[in-house]
Structure 1
Amino acid sequence: MFLEEIIIHNYRSCKSIVLNLSENNPNIFIGLNDSGKSTLLQSLDLLLGDKTKFSTLCEGNYKSDISNTPEQVEVLNKILSEKKLPDFDDNDNGTYVIGKLRYKEGEAEEYTNLNLSTPLTWSLECNENGIIWLAKKFSKVGGRTFLLMKDSDKKLELWNLNQANINKKIKEFGVTGEDIDNDNNKGRFSNLEKIRAIYSKTGGNLKWTEYRYAKNDRDIFPSFSLFDWNTSLDEVISTANVIMKEEIDVHLTPIKDQAAESAKKAEKAINKKFGEISKVIKEVAKDVESINSKVYFDVKEKISDIMVTKAFSDGPIHLENQGEGLKRQIWFSLIKAKADSSSDSLNKFIWAFDEPETHLYPRAQREFFDTLNKVSKGNVQTLISTHSTIFIDKSNFDKINSVIQESDGYSTINNCRDVEAIYSSLNVKNSDFLFFDKFLIVEGDTEQHLIPRLYEIYTGKTLIKDNIQLINIQGKDKYEINKKILDKIMSGFKKSEDQIVYLFDNDMSFVMGQAAIKENMFFVGYQDIEDSIDNEIWLNILNDFYNEELEFSLEEIEKWKANVVKKTKCAAREKFYPLMKNGIKMKCGNDVDYDSLEKLPSKGNDSADLLLKYIDHRDKIPNKIKEAFDKLID
């Protein structure tokens, strides 16, 4: 059984909340401090916890968990009406927590062996197949529990009657033996079979009916635990009890059966003794005809203590005597062990974690979320209140809920449809997800080495300092495949076209085509970055590089640039750098041995280092590169 939906009405900051929950994925709740995340988790404790804590204003107590300005019960009833559920018919504007619990066919078969109370069995039978609605109400007069059950307009509440009174109702409504279906086709009719027959005569509708848990009833409902890092020894032991329940039950069930048999024998012996002393009893209590008893031996499972043996300890040590750090480690290891256990059992546990990332470094956060994700696939339903972008990054959007405290002080909860909603909810930036705010994409090794230094010259800061990640896509021929990878990584991130800047040689624009070019793409030169560098810079580079062996003029450089193919794709030999190298070879002629000359470096780190010796001021940086930088720092 798991919790499919919860309705919270007038509980602290949750004045009117309706929330659907996932069974097999962690349910993530994000939001700023004091937005209502913890209140949401604690409302589940009100619904399913064994020892609920709820405060109301009374003499000597000035704290109340009821919303300061509670909604009228009519607001709740409108929500219930939309879900085709009956109203609550009182006028007390207290706190209500209502849960829609769903169970599977295999669980329903198990319920028949649990000796459930008549009210709970009747509720299971009355509701839609696989669904049970449980409600808790808290007010100044205390807490009350409700189930949906079919009852007549006369409010017969037959499930609360003993056998004698049910038999009276059988006669009153003229129910015959033929009207009663015997489930086993043998033996006497059960109270439930009689109740079913009476209501088939009187008719009735589903109503919210007050209910008290009987002994075995709690076994069908999920047990709820709320965890944070303030872990006590009791919580560690409680977690161990929950995780080890199946192992305990293997040994406990035969003992319970034996206890039941022994109880019958004890009951028989006691009643025999009562019979022997009945005359004495009657002498004192003259109206008493007879006396007998019911005997029940209560057998409870419990791990009473946990001992640990450490590497340097002299034998086992009580965990109670260890530090909080070790307790947390044991607690986490127990949860992890649960995740590693069989995942084919039915959901019986709901675990809520309030900011579990506290005290965990990023890698540990990832491991912890993976553990919770894994345990959610088994018989544990998980809810997580978190500020961790790592938890968010590893979650599905439709399982992330943004909790926001509105201007009136009350909480609202919305699904995060996209990353924009997450940014708004947590006030985070891209850097909080990927450690960088923006991304600069270049196409080759020369740019990878050259561009960061030019950025530093232009802005006075480094790319890293400004939270900008440089990515080299390793060539034009790899652009398409790398762009798909980048798009997948950045999918959904806040205004991704403003966060990613592409800085390419202009020949890339001819490969892509005009239709594919966006405003965040910048293309340098006629063909590439080399022909965009000022002629004076190239003149200084060549004359210094070749020293006195060769001397160049501006006219030569201008001629080489003029021969660069413009506005269309061209062969490599038609670009500036090859044209310049070929011009140097032709300039040697018969006077200089070209083969003996030191050659200009090919594109790459060496080429970038050569350019950086001469581009030492922001005014010398090509304009298109500066435009790309301006886009990044805008």
Structure 2
Amino acid sequence: MHIANIIIFNYRSCKFLDLELSREHPNVFIGLNDSGKSTVLQAFDLLLGNKPKYSSYGEGSYKSDLSNSLISIEKINAILENKDLPLFGFSDDSTLIIGKLVYSDDEVEKYIDLNLTAALKWSIECNPTNVLWIAKRYYNNRVQTYLISSEADEPLELWNATQATINGKIRELAITNEEIENENRRGRFSNFEKIRAVYGKLNCSLKWVDYNFGKSDKDVFPSFSLFDWHTSLEEIISTANAIMQEEINEHIIPIKQLANDSARKAEEAINQKFGEISSIIKEVAKEVEGISSKVHFDVKEKISDIMVTKTNSDGPIHLENQGEGLKRQIWFSLIKAKASTQEEGETKFVWAFDEPETHLYPGAQREFFDILNKISLGNVQTLISTHSTIFIDKSNLDKINSVKKENNGYTEINFCKDIDSIFLSLSVKNSDFLFYNKFLIVEGDTELYLVPQLYELYTGKSLIADNIQLLNIQGKNKWNENKRIIDKVLGDFKKSEDQLIFLFDNDMSFEIGRGVVTENMFFVGEQDIEDSIGDEVWLNILNDYYQGILEFNLEEINSWKESVAKNAKCNDYEKFYPILKKAIKLKCENSNIEYDSVKKIPSKGAESAEFLLKFMNTENTIPLKIKEAFDKLRV
């Protein structure tokens, strides 16, 4: 289960924020000091943390985490209504954190085996498929948790009701046994099965309802940890628990299952005994129709301590007694170990890192971000607050959130749309950092649209995700001018020949001369990219484009390619596209079709790229030289 959306109301500088989050990539928050980055991470702690810190005004307290200027409950409800969420009915004096949690079908199967509270089971059943909404309200030194559940117009809260109350509703609504679904198809109806039947008879709608975590409920929600470089022993042990969870589960799950089975047997025995003495109870408490119990055997698992053995120590030493430097090193190594053993799976942990680059030199920062990237692909969802240009350099641009304070003193967050927004958010200059690792130079508008699609088809990642900038020199005749500009811009950085990969039509090699060609230059086709595309691909493209008008065959396409000039600079009419256009015109004349009445094949820009990409949809349809250029980019 991971967080897909968090909505923050009235928390410090975060008067109102609505954030969409990625599961498989680090969610990066950048901005100047005091912009609200740490506050955003702490809001996640308020939602999912075990012991979140929140200050309210009260006796002996002179500070509060409540925003100074509150967004009213009316405005909160207007926002929720716009998101098709139920409304709240409390007053304005509250911090409210709302989270949309998303889980997989495999996780649903695991929930069946957990001894969940009726409140959580009912919420899971009532919400849209694989979605669970949870909210936390902080006010007057109190905290209240809510779930979205289907509830009657006059609230009953049957998930918190006694068996007698539920049975009373069954009788009141005249619900028959046939109307109650018995999931096991044997034995007595459970309270939950009766609750479902009762609500099925009533006029219900989705509402926010009060919720208290049950002991097994916490196994459903992801475990949240907020890390910085002031790492405590408790946080190190928490990290160790996360890393060793699979090893712990191997031994603890059978014990938990045994405990649940034993609890059910004990519950049946106790309830049988209650049944035997029910008449005695009724004599004393005449209004009581029946009495029953719920039994849960609590099985807790955790690493309780960490010991280290040092080269100069006489046996294991408690890590608690070691210096902060060693604690940080152990914590870093545990996270690194988590990445090295990471496998894809359901999200079990949400880890937030507040300026993790602190005390790390640039190379270590790059390594640490790679580690966070790797664990994000497994069962850890990551959130990062950072000033590090290295972290930003290695992030997907569309996963970077720019955090800033507006003139009114409250935090606003926007996705970074381009490099300019990165520079503005961090108040950096061009000389402070170079965002891209490498540059791919192409010569025209068609390649500008075509190449990124082919790269993603070939590698499974976008150019931006691999920190590659695509540059268009806009024609062969501008080669020398643009090459000088590029070299000048990159002159103060790493050698440009190491950063620049050139992907051109082969006719460019005749323009610039073989003497200046380097191993980073790749030339496609006999003359251009079009004649390098496979005959079968062209056959599919043309027959689809002219379906019902003209029909083409492989012999024709092969003959047109044979007509392309080889190994020399040539005139335009000796290249594939002009040859193809001329052949289409001749084919129309031979078929008594007015050439001007048929649609023409696009020859440049996005339209041309889309024309080609329709059937260049597998890796083996990408010309070899293009794949070689992509391989060089990724070295």
Matched residue, 2:52: 52
What letter is aligned with 1:405? K
Say which SS state the counterpart of residue 433 (structure 2) adopts: helix
Is this contact kept in 1: 2:163–2:291, CA < 8 A? no
SS at match of 2:24: coil
- Equivalent-residue separation in structure 2 for 1:484 and 1:88 (angstroms): 62
Judged with a 3 Å threshold, the aligned counterparts in structure 2 of structure 1 residues 66 and 351 are, in CA distance, closer, same or farther, namely same
What corresponds to 2:307 in structure 1?
Answer: 307
Tell me how far apart the structure 1 counterparts of residues 184 and 18 of structure 2 sit (CA, whole Å). Answer: 41
Displacement after TM superposition at 1:174 (Å): 2.0
Alignment-mate amino acid for residue 32 of structure 2: L
CA-atom RMSD, angstroms? 3.9
Find the aligned partners of 1:434 and 1:393 in 2 and give their Cα distance. Answer: 8
Partner residue, 1:213 = 213
Distance apart, 1:187 and its partner CA: 2.2
1:342 partner amino acid = Q
Mean Cα deviation higher: 356-365 or 79-88: 79-88
Q: Secondary structure at the match of 1:253?
A: helix
Is 1:374 aligned to residue 370 of structure 2? no
Contact preservation (8 Å) 1:241, 1:302: yes
Question: Can you list the C-alpha shifts for 1:346-383, whole angstroms capped at 9, x where unaligned?
Answer: 10100000000000000000000000000000000000
What letter corresponds to residue 30 of structure 2 in structure 1? I
Q: Distance in 1 between matches of 2:270 and 2:184?
A: 32
Task: Report how many residues are paired.
Answer: 456
Post-superposition offset of 1:312: 3.3
Q: How much has 1:140 moved relative to structure 2? A: 1.1
The 2-side partners of 1:289 and 1:188 are apart by 18
Check the 8 A contact 1:29/1:400 in 2, yes or no.
yes
- Please tell me whether residue 77 in structure 1 is matched to residue 82 in structure 2: no
Q: How much has 1:434 moved relative to structure 2?
A: 3.4
- 1:353 alignment counterpart: 353
List gaps (5 residues or longer) in structure 2: 440-475, 494-499, 501-507, 513-635
What's the counterpart of residue 200 of structure 2?
Answer: 200
Please say which of residues 427-436 and 320-329 is displaced more in the overlay. 427-436
User: What is aligned with 2:385?
Assistant: 385
Bigger drift between 368-377 and 158-167 goes to 158-167
Residues 107 and 296 from structure 1, CA distance in 2 versus in 1: closer, same or farther, beyond 3 angstroms? closer
Alignment partner of 1:34 is 2:34: yes
Contact kept in structure 2, 1:13 and 1:411, CA below 8 Å: yes
Match of 1:540 in 2: none
Distance 1:289 1:399 in 2: 58
Q: Is the 8 A contact 2:402 2:415 kept in 1?
A: yes
What CA distance in whole angstroms lies between the structure 2 residues aligned with 1:51 and 1:240? 18
CA contact (8 A) 2:164 2:291 kept: no
Q: TM-score, normalised by structure 2?
A: 0.65
Question: Is 1:173 paired with 2:173?
Answer: yes
Q: How does 1:519-598 map to 2 (within 5 A)?
A: none
Note the C-alpha offset of 1:42.
Answer: 0.2
Which residues in structure 2 correspond to 1:475-514 (within 5 Å)? 483=483
Amino acid at match of 2:398: D
Contact 1:71/1:93 (CA < 8 Å) preserved in 2?
no
Structure 1 residues 431 and 122, CA, compared in 2 at 3 Å: closer, same or farther?
same
2:435 & 2:292 partners in 1: Cα distance?
A: 75
C-alpha contact 2:393 2:435 (8 A) present in aligned 1: no
Q: CA 1:118/1:262 → structure 2, altered by over 3 Å: closer, same or farther?
A: closer
The CA distance in 2 between the partners of 1:276 and 1:159, in whole Å, is 26
Q: Could you tell me how far 1:214 is from its partner in structure 2?
A: 0.8
CA apart distance, 1:340: 1.5
Structure 1 residues 433 and 58: alpha-carbon distance in aligned structure 2, compared to 1, 3 A threshold: same
- Per the alignment, residue 156 of structure 1 pairs with 156
Q: Tell me which residue corresponds to 1:113.
A: 113
Contact 1:241 1:303 in 2 (8 A): yes
Tell me the equivalent position of 2:229: 229
**Which residue does 2:98 correspond to in 1?**
98
Aligned to 1:447: none
Q: Paired residue for 2:88? A: 88
Deviations 1:219-278 (A, max 9, x none): 100110000000111211111112212211211223334445666788899999999999
Percent of aligned positions with the same letter in both sequences? 63
Which whole-Å CA distance do the structure 1 matches of 2:218 and 2:333 have between them?
27
The CA distance in 2 between the partners of 1:88 and 1:293, in whole Å, is 33
Other-structure match for 2:540? none
Change (3 A) 1:176 1:414: same
Q: Structure 2 vs 1, CA of residues 99 and 481 (structure 1 numbering), >3 Å: closer, same or farther? A: farther
Q: Deviations over 1:594-621 (max 9, x none)?
A: xxxxxxxxxxxxxxxxxxxxxxxxxxxx
Is the alpha carbon distance of 1:121 and 1:357 closer, same or farther for their aligned partners in structure 2, counting shifts above 3 Å? same
Secondary structure of 1:434's aligned partner:
coil
Per-residue deviation, residues 407-457 of structure 1 (Å, max 9, x unmatched): 111100000000100111100112221399xx9xxxxxxxxxxxxxxxxxx
Cα displacement (A) at 1:297: 4.1
Rounded to whole Å, the distance in 1 between the matches of 2:137 and 2:155 is: 20
Residue 290 of structure 1: how far off its partner (Å) = 12
The alpha-carbon distance between structure 1 residues 168 and 315, as it changes in their structure 2 partners (threshold 3 A), is: same
Equivalent residues of 2:55, 2:141 under 8 A apart: no
For 1:338, the equivalent position in structure 2 comes to 338
User: 1:177: Cα distance to partner?
Assistant: 1.8
Alignment match, 1:567: none
The whole-number CA distance in structure 1 between the counterparts of 2:293 and 2:103 is 37
Which secondary structure does the structure 1 equivalent of 2:78 belong to? helix
Residues 486 and 108 of structure 1: CA distance in aligned 2, closer, same or farther (over 3 Å): farther
